[in-house]
Amino acid sequence: MSTEAEETAAIEALDGAEWMGRNLKVNKAKPREEKKSFGGGWGNDNRSASRRY
């Protein structure tokens, strides 16, 4: 959208509209937040190397 007014109009027109039998939820996009790695899972520590079956 080139202006805030166009963006707002599009959100208002589409939010709650029905498409293929489902109601749409339309929000303004936000930047993604960085997620921290938990460091779990196979191969991330020395203990997992000894667990071969």
Residue 41 pLDDT:
59
Structural tokens at position 1:
């959208």
Structural tokens at position 53:
């079956």
pLDDT band at 25 (very low <50, low <70, confident <90, very high): very high
Distances (CA, A) of 25 to 12, 13, 22: 10, 11, 10
| 6-23: average pLDDT | 95
Max Cα distance, the chain (Å) = 61
The backbone torsions φ and ψ at residue 23, rounded to the nearest 5 degrees and listed phi first, read -85, 130
Domains of the chain, by residue range, sit at 1-29
